[in-house]
Amino acid sequence: MPVHQFRRIGSLDVSVVGLGCNNFGRRLDVKATAKVVKAALDEGINFFDTADVYGGTASEEFLAKALGKRREKVIVATKFGMKVDDNRKGARPEYVKQACEDSLRRLRTDYIDLYQLHTPDKSVPIADTLGALDDLVQEGKVREIGCSNFTADQLHEADAAVQMGCARFVSVQNEYSLLHREPGKGVLAECAALNISFIPYFPLANGLLTGKYRKNQPLPQGSRITDGWHSELLTEENLDKVEQLIAFAESRGHTILELAFSWLLSREMVSSVIAGATSPEQARANANAAEWDLTEAELEQVNRIVPLHS
């Protein structure tokens, strides 16, 4: 069943499940990317989140080719600020504008729906970066601006630096999942206070919350964690929690995947849960994982399995 729920990020209407594009150009070639994007579109996903550094800048290009003439029917988010090379990094005003032009070219578009500062740059006053981003909004090259990997204090500082009538961050994209609940300690409250949307990345804890990593069972071959990505997550404590979460979900006729997405969307400030996919099947499963409307009693039970200090 296609995604039919939408929430707002500033002025943008986004599907509550989005597609993270970090696999494009890294694990997926052009043809495989096109298949994943088509599956996402067929399932009603309209929110595609990429970055200039993904796939060594190939992700934006692959996404553009996959979308083709459907570009104007979707919401494209990209990011700048992480190191592309020695000359392309950071948040200096002149680089912000260069990075935007580079992304526009790779995305084959004349506007970016959501342009996000990928990581704070402590060497540049946030007011200077915001000024450059506002210029891009005024020029029509960017519709909304956001940030990523910001603390509550950094969100507050950025909001205080916005000049009257200028563009402000409407979203923050940080890691958040049932197994990584750090945002619950301050960032979500700051989002509520400032009316900023929260976009969780790694919602499946790098695959731990898909159910494919089970206690006392062989690890699946070819997966991110098995290949060395975030292998530190495979602790006894985490695997114990996964088993409890699987039992909880299955006792209610759901999967742990559905629990992972639906739990995040029970948070009022969460606008869209973005997860990557390496196959059309994964894209379809993610799109259909957000239908469980958890009750207060169920949320309390989940909190007992994975307390806030997790």
54, 115, 201, 213: which one is catalytic?
54
Name the one residue in this structure whose structure tokens are 């307390």.
307
Any catalytic annotation for residue 54? Answer: yes
Catalytic residue positions, numbered: 54
